[in-house]
Chains A and B, each alone.
Chain A
Amino acid sequence: MSQADRLELDSMFQLKGSMLAITVLELEHNDLKSLDTQLAAKVGQAPQFFSNTPVVVALDKLPETESDLDLDQLMTLCRRHGLHPLAIRATQRAHIAAASKLDLPVLPPSGARTRQIDPSAREQSPPVGPVHRPTRIITTPVRGGQQVYAPGGDLIVMAAVSPGAELLADGNIHVYAPLRGRALAGIKGDTGARIFCQQLAAELLSIAGQYKVAEDLRREPLWGEATQISLSGQMLNITRL
């Protein structure tokens, strides 16, 4: 606890590492006009999601042949739809240059660091068998304002998840109780991840970035039931357990 007379000696800040679950807007084509109309349609579906939502805009999936991107205009377009770009993800030189002109941070492409494997090390490593993914088990209620993350594996929660609580897992999420908060499975992009819950009452469900918010979920016939949620293509499927 800081005391007035100790104030000058106390350090003013701490640097803390953290895992942020952040939405990535990944562009597949450089066509701002179509992007504008498609974003407008999405905003119509989930207006709450698009209000001051921080995003990373990914340009690394844009075909090299479509390199004439007006980054300034793209940023303006995002903001108009309620998205707040914090940084871009890019590999093309033109994109990186444009970003530095706008003072926008540039992130490496997703998974770049994990993909850089030393070829000589690979030869020595044992043959790839089934990988053991640790499971995180929570037995007490997850309350509003709390966040639980299972890195690299599954998350099992044996008690209620309150509104305002957030569950994150690289793998699957199981909730053997009412799920009233948010659950985001496969947050590193595993499209095979699933969410299981005994009572669907969630504020948000997401698998590998594809999400549904409470307004849509409430209209589901299985709202309040025991369900499993999986991803097929771009669609979240909700089925009875």
Chain B
Amino acid sequence: MAKIIVVTSGKGGVGKTTTSAAIGTGLALRGHKTVIIDFDVGLRNLDLIMGCERRVVYDFVNVIHSDATLAQALIKDKRLENLYVLAASQTRDKDALTQEGVEKVITELSASFEYIICDSPAGIEKGAHLAMYFADEAIVVTNPEVSSVRDSDRMLGLLASKSRRAEQGLEPIKEHLLLTRYSPERVTNGEMLGVEDVEEILAIRLLGVIPESKSVLKASNQGIPVILDEQSDAGQAYSDAVDRLLGKEVDHRFLDVKKPGFLQRLFGGRE
């Protein structure tokens, strides 16, 4: 049986798709057979970030409507043996996803995968609801600002009350906080909330802190999940988060303002 993990947030543009791609890739890198599903019907971003947009023939909605089999729709990653993507459709019809349809696909995937990562659309409407409904665990992606924290809090309320686990009285969804686009400088200036502030308000386990980093945009423009950029701070932070997700104790990094190194001070800043 696969573990179903939803990457969700409420608020849009906080880094859900970036995170889904990174975490899914990280799990596959560590030898776990993983599929990432794009639930953002109509927008379809995941295939771009994963660099497989030109190989999308059939999508999630085609499988739900039995226009294609799962085997036909799953896109195998070029880089990793264990990694697959199920793309969202470009259809404008938001009702294309149904609870029965999603359940059918997830059940079928569960038989052959270890991890199913569900990349949720923004908001708390149907798409977001279906993305989280069958989840065993949730990664709540939050930016260090008040509106994002509020939306995450609301989403946590829905995870605890409107999911399959809640409705059937099963053990609750395991919740993880992933703080992304974190900028220690802006926290020090008082422009952003600090890690402790967010942790105190949301009161769930901190999976990781991903720094604001140019490497994220660079990676997504190239269609390479940022976790594969081992030199980048964001890539390393995502790597740590995957280790923690798998139960390893790893110290948090990238929380403090970088002190310019000796050489940097001598020769001036270098981008």
Chain A residues in the interface with B (C-beta under 8 A): 1-4, 140-146, 159-160, 162-165, 180
Report B149-188 residues with CB < 8 Å from chain A CB: 150, 153-154, 156-158, 160-161, 172
On whether the beta carbons of A140 and B160 are closer than 8 Å, the reply is yes
B95-A162 in contact (CB<8A):
no
> Do the beta carbons of A163 and B95 come within 8 Å of each other?
no
Asked if B201 is at the interface (CB within 8 A of a chain A CB), the reply is: yes
A143 touches B160 (CB 8 A): yes
Shortest C-beta distance, A165 to chain B (Å), equals: 8
When the two chains form their complex, are residues B95 and A4 in contact, meaning their CB atoms are under 8 A apart? yes
Residue from the set A1, A143, A180 with the largest chain B CB neighbour count within 10 Å: A143
- Bound Cα distance A196, B158 (Å): 26
Which chain A residue shows the least CB distance to B124? Answer: A145
A2 contact set on B, CB distance < 8 A = 95
Q: Which residues of B contact A160 (CB under 8 A)?
A: 201, 203
Residues of A within 8 A of B160 (CB): 140-141, 143
- Determine if B251 is an interface residue (Cβ-Cβ < 8 Å): no
CB distance from B270 to the nearest CB of A (A): 42
Q: In the complex the two chains form, what is the Cα distance from A143 to B203 in whole Å?
A: 11
B203 in contact with A146 (CB, 8 Å): no
With A144-B154, A146-B161 known as contacts, the answer to whether A1 contacts B99 (CB < 8 A) is yes
Contact, CB under 8 Å: B203 / A1:
no
Of listed A145, A164, A165, residue having the most chain B CB within 10 A? A145
Give the residues in chain B near A4, CB-CB below 8 Å.
95
Contact of B154 among A1, A3, A143 (CB under 8 A): A143
Q: A159-B203, A162-B201 are in contact. Are A143 and B98 (CB under 8 A)?
A: no
A214–B154 Cα distance when bound, in Å, is 20
